[in-house]
Amino acid sequence: FISIQAFPALLDLPQDLEVSGVSCGSRHTAVVTRGGELYTWGWGKYGQLGHGDITSSDQARRVEHLVAEGLRAEEVVCGPWTTYVRVLE
């Protein structure tokens, strides 16, 4: 079950994160931190959350693939069922 809200809601992110960018798709959201990490949550049916599966989540999760590849997220743009990330190696 994924909660869909038509009104603003507070994000439950780890306290030490400083968000530098955010983007919302139709049913998912992504944030980039000043440290270059990408966190996503929401509807994941088409893999748009970037976690290597089609699992949906109400909790923000770090995209571990970028960390494993040594990539630093700089910018994120969410489409209806997609997520685009500009990274630095």
d(CA 80, CA 73): 20
pLDDT in tens, the chain (89 residues): 556 666 777 777 777 889 999 999 989 999 999 999 999 999 999 999 999 999 999 889 999 999 999 999 999 999 999 999 999 99
d(CA 89, CA 85): 13
Residue 7: what residue type? F
- Nearest one of 49, 74, 42 to 64, comparing CA atoms: 49
Each domain of the chain, given as residue ranges in start order, spans: 19-88
